[in-house]
C-alpha cells in the first residue's frame, strides 16, 4: 500500500453482503498528493489504479469534489464497513461524511441507476449488473429516508442474489426498478438542501497544510528554506 494513502476500504459485493465464492475484492481509497506538487505547471494525478488488483484511489481533493456532488460510489466509500487502512486524516474524513450529504442524492443515485439500466440488454442479460442497479436504488432510497446510504443490504439480500442468479424474470426486476426510481424521485428527504462545503474545505485546507514541505533553518539572519517533500 502506498504511504500517501489516508483511507482504503472494500466496496462492491463483499461490502454489500452480496459476495459469492467467485467475487473479487474491490478496493477504493483516498490518497494525498504532496502540497508542493500543486505549485508546478504539471499537477498531480486526480486518481490512480492499483497497486492491488481491483483497486482504485482518488486524490483527496477529487474525492471531496465527487462526494459533494453526491457521487454514489464515492459516498458509499465513507460508509463501507470494511476499512483496511485509515490514518488520522482518513479518520477525520470519515467523521466528516455527513457534511457531504445533500438532496443532490435524489438526482445522482437515480441517474447512476438509469445509466446502468440503459446498458442492460434483456436479450443478453447481465444479471449481476441488474442486481447492482436495484441495489443502488435501494441505497439511495435509504439515504434520503435515513440520512445514510444502505451499504449492507440486509433483508433484501436473498431477493438480490436471486436476481444475480437469473431466477427473477426480467419483467419483475424492471417493475421493481421503476417503482424504486419513482419512490426515490418523490421521496421527502431528511437531507439538507446543500452539502456543508465550508466544513469540507476546512478539512481539505488542513490536509494541505499538513503536507507542506518542512522548513530548513538557514544561516543566521537568512530566510528559512523549504525542504522538498518526497514524492
- DSSP line for 108-120: HHHHHHHHHHHH-
State the maximum Cα–Cα separation within the chain, in Å, rounded to a whole number. Answer: 80
The model's pLDDT over 191-230, given as tens digits with 9 standing for 90+, comes to 999 999 999 999 999 999 999 887 655 555 555 555 544 4
Question: With 80 as the cut, is the pLDDT of residue 131 above it?
Answer: yes
Q: How confident is the model at residue 24 (pLDDT cuts 50, 70, 90)?
A: confident
Residue 124 DSSP one-character state: G
Output the CA–CA distances (angstroms, integers) from residue 181 to 32, 36, 109, in the order listed. Answer: 36, 45, 9
Tell me the percentage of the chain whose pLDDT exceeds 70.
Answer: 92
Mean pLDDT of all residues belonging to the chain: 90
The model's pLDDT over 138-187, given as tens digits with 9 standing for 90+, comes to 999 999 999 999 998 888 999 999 999 999 999 999 999 999 999 988 88
Per-residue model confidence (pLDDT) at position 81: 94
Question: With 80 as the cut, is the pLDDT of residue 231 above it?
Answer: no
For the chain, how are helix, strand and coil distributed in percent, rounded to 5? 50, 15, 35
Per-residue model confidence (pLDDT) at position 228: 46
Per-residue model confidence (pLDDT) at position 20: 83
Q: Where are the alpha helices (H) located in 11-87, listed in sequence order?
A: 13-16, 60-68, 72-77
Q: Which residues are within 8 A (CB) of 148 and not within 5 positions of it... i.e. 6 or more apart?
A: 79, 101, 142
Amino acid at each position: 500500500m502506498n504511504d500517501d494513502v489516508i483511507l482504503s476500504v472494500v466496496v462492491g459485493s463483499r461490502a454489500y453482503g452480496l459476495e459469492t465464492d467467485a467475487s473479487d475484492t474491490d478496493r477504493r481509497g483516498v490518497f494525498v498528493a504532496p502540497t508542493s506538487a500543486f505549485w508546478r505547471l504539471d499537477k498531480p494525478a486526480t486518481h490512480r489504479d492499483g497497486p492491488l488488483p481491483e483497486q482504485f484511489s482518488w486524490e483527496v481533493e477529487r474525492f471531496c469534489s465527487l462526494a459533494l456532488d453526491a457521487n454514489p460510489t464515492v459516498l458509499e466509500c465513507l460508509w463501507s464497513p470494511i476499512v483496511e487502512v485509515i490514518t488520522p486524516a482518513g479518520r477525520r474524513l470519515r467523521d466528516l461524511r455527513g457534511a457531504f450529504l445533500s438532496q443532490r442524492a435524489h438526482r445522482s443515485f437515480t441517474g447512476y441507476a438509469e445509466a446502468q439500466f440503459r446498458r442492460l440488454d434483456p436479450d443478453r442479460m447481465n444479471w449481476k449488473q441488474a442486481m447492482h442497479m436495484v441495489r443502488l436504488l435501494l441505497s439511495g432510497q435509504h439515504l434520503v429516508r435515513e440520512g445514510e446510504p444502505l451499504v449492507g443490504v440486509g433483508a433484501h439480500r436473498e431477493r438480490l442474489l436471486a436476481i444475480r442468479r437469473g431466477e427473477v424474470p426480467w419483467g419483475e426486476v424492471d417493475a421493481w426498478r421503476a417503482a424504486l426510481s419513482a419512490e426515490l424521485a418523490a421521496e421527502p428527504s431528511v437531507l439538507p438542501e446543500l452539502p456543508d462545503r465550508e466544513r469540507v474545505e476546512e478539512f481539505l485546507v488542513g490536509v494541505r497544510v499538513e503536507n507542506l514541505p518542512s522548513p530548513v533553518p538557514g544561516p543566521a539572519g537568512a530566510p528559512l528554506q523549504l525542504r522538498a517533500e518526497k514524492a
